[in-house]
Amino acid sequence: MSSAPCTNVRVPAKVNLFLAVRGIRDDGYHELVTIFQSVAITDQLTLRIEGRSELLNHPAGGRRTELSLAHDAGSGVPTGPDNLIVRAAQLLADARGIRMELVHEHDPVVGVRTRLELAKRIPVAGGMAGGSADAAAALVGLNELWDLGIPRSELRDMAAELGADVPFTVMGGTALATGTGTGFARVLCRGAFHWVVCAAEEELSTPAVYKAWDDYCSPSEVEPDAVLAAVAGGDPEALGAALHNDLQPAAEVLLPRLAADRKALLDAGALGAVVSGSGPTIVGLAADAQEAQRIARRVAGRFPRVLITTSPSGGPVVQRC
């Protein structure tokens, strides 16, 4: 491990500009065609190595570490082994033969500790891959902090073990994904798009939304061509008209008011409005930055949290503290 004391990683959220569910695969997962785009709403993960200075560069210190995680995301987000950040750290540790012991942040340091602190801005359980983004931040940040030297492309491949959205959040940008979403190809995107992001008070679990799709929806044959043309041409009007999400009806079964919320965004001037991923966050596309500000003011009283952002964004950005 490196003796570098601190690394910061800023990692962006994503929206699904297009999501079609083709059906259920033999392995039980859903066959998808989706277009991901990263947006400039970011979480920040701060990673530090602490402990007795004589151990930080000692060979034994480099093969063993405690790990603790703290965050400001509320009591509903775990800090134990179920957290995707911790799972990402364990994946890297196992891959490189590092013995990792998960401890509480207030436990006294014994030997060497990797301390992780998450500042959360991406909506929790909101359909914007916040947990996946944080896992990507852990992979990229620990690769730097622990001086592992793993190429970003290899981290992307490893990320598939953590979840469908994690490989994309390791890379960022705009991508067309098929299958379960873990395999993707870069997509040409010209210009910037302006979004009004409306978070809900409630949370929706991805498995519950897919279960609702199984119960109430049918496979779709809608193709992503219109979205691909719109992003390639940098055309917000065309993109607004082409936004599509097959999981949206399923999310609206679980939270019926989402349909009215989308209409409110359209009535406020959005070129298009769609549930992001499995929801319940709704994103509205604006013609430009000024119009995004106006739309946000018009709907501010309807949602507990309204954010203005742009896309596309890049992947995780790593900086030394």
Percent of the chain having pLDDT more than 70? 95
Chain segment 217-239, per-residue pLDDT in tens: 999 999 999 999 999 999 999 99
Chain segment 297-313, per-residue pLDDT in tens: 999 999 999 999 999 99
Q: Do 171 and 62 share a structural domain?
A: yes
Asked if residue 188 belongs to a domain, the reply is no
Check residue 14 and give its pLDDT. Answer: 97
Q: Do 160 and 13 share a structural domain?
A: yes
Chain segment 147-182, per-residue pLDDT in tens: 899 999 999 999 999 998 999 999 999 999 998 877
Segment 5-25 shows an average pLDDT of 95
Angstrom distance (rounded) from CA 144 to CA 129: 22
Q: Is 133 annotated as a binding residue?
A: yes
Pairing state of beta strands 6-24 and 244-245?
A: parallel
CATH of the domain at 232: 3.30.70.890
Q: Do 245 and 99 share a structural domain?
A: no
Q: Do 136 and 35 share a structural domain?
A: yes
Asked if residue 258 belongs to a domain, the reply is yes
Q: Which one-letter amino acid corresponds to residue 218?
A: S
Q: Is 260 annotated as a binding residue?
A: no
Query: Domain limits at 298?
Result: 193-311
Is pLDDT of 3 > 80? no
Q: Do the Cβ atoms of 88 and 135 come closer than 8 Å?
A: yes
The domain boundary, picked from 182, 207, 235, lies at 182
The highest-confidence range among 122-136, 201-215, 260-274, by mean pLDDT, is 260-274
β strands within 222-294, DSSP E: 244-245, 272-275, 282-286
Is pLDDT of 216 > 70? yes
Asked if residue 316 belongs to a domain, the reply is no
Active-site residue flag, 261: no
Check residue 62 and give its pLDDT. Answer: 63
Q: Is 132 annotated as a binding residue?
A: yes
Angstrom distance (rounded) from CA 314 to CA 234: 17
Percent of the chain having pLDDT more than 90? 83
Q: Is 130 annotated as a binding residue?
A: yes
CATH of the domain at 131: 3.30.230.10
Q: Do 54 and 154 share a structural domain?
A: yes
Indicate the DSSP class of residue 61: G
Q: Do 282 and 156 share a structural domain?
A: no
Q: Which one-letter amino acid corresponds to residue 87?
A: R
Q: Do 281 and 171 share a structural domain?
A: no
Half-sphere exposure of 25 (CA within 13 A, CB side): 11
Segment 85-100 shows an average pLDDT of 95
Q: Is 129 annotated as a binding residue?
A: yes
User: What mean pLDDT, rounded, does the chain reach?
Assistant: 93
Check residue 271 and give its pLDDT. Answer: 98
Is pLDDT of 190 > 60? yes
Is pLDDT of 60 > 50? no
* Beta-bridge mates of residue 69: 116
Q: Do 166 and 216 share a structural domain?
A: no
Active-site residue flag, 14: yes
Q: Is 229 annotated as a binding residue?
A: no
Asked if residue 320 belongs to a domain, the reply is no
Asked if residue 140 belongs to a domain, the reply is yes
Q: Do 177 and 69 share a structural domain?
A: yes
Check residue 2 and give its pLDDT. Answer: 46
Segment 4-28 shows an average pLDDT of 93
Q: Which of 134, 165, 246, 261 is catalytic?
A: 165
Q: Do the Cβ atoms of 167 and 184 come closer than 8 Å?
A: yes
Q: Is 40 annotated as a binding residue?
A: no
Asked if residue 187 belongs to a domain, the reply is no
Check residue 110 and give its pLDDT. Answer: 86
The domain boundary, picked from 182, 213, 244, lies at 182
The domain boundary, picked from 182, 203, 228, lies at 182
User: What's this model's pTM, rounded to 2 decimal places?
Assistant: 0.92
- Around Cβ 95, how many Cβ atoms within 10 Å? 13
Q: Do 121 and 90 share a structural domain?
A: yes
Angstrom distance (rounded) from CA 45 to CA 7: 8
Q: Do 31 and 54 share a structural domain?
A: yes
Q: Which one-letter amino acid corresponds to residue 282?
A: I
Q: Residue 36's pLDDT band (boundaries 50, 70, 90)?
A: very high
* DSSP symbols for 275-317: E-TTSS-EEEEESSHHHHHHHHHHHTTTSSEEEEEEE---S-E
Q: Do 222 and 125 share a structural domain?
A: no
**Residue 184 phi/psi, 5° resolution?**
-150, 165
Is pLDDT of 58 > 60? no
Asked if residue 208 belongs to a domain, the reply is yes
Check residue 192 and give its pLDDT. Answer: 96
Q: Is 100 annotated as a binding residue?
A: no
For 44, counting Cβ atoms within 10 Å of its Cβ (0-12 exposed, 13-18 middle, 19+ buried), the class is middle
Number of domains in the chain: 2
Q: Which of 41-55, 83-97, 183-197, 241-255 has the lowest mean pLDDT?
A: 41-55
Asked if residue 134 belongs to a domain, the reply is yes
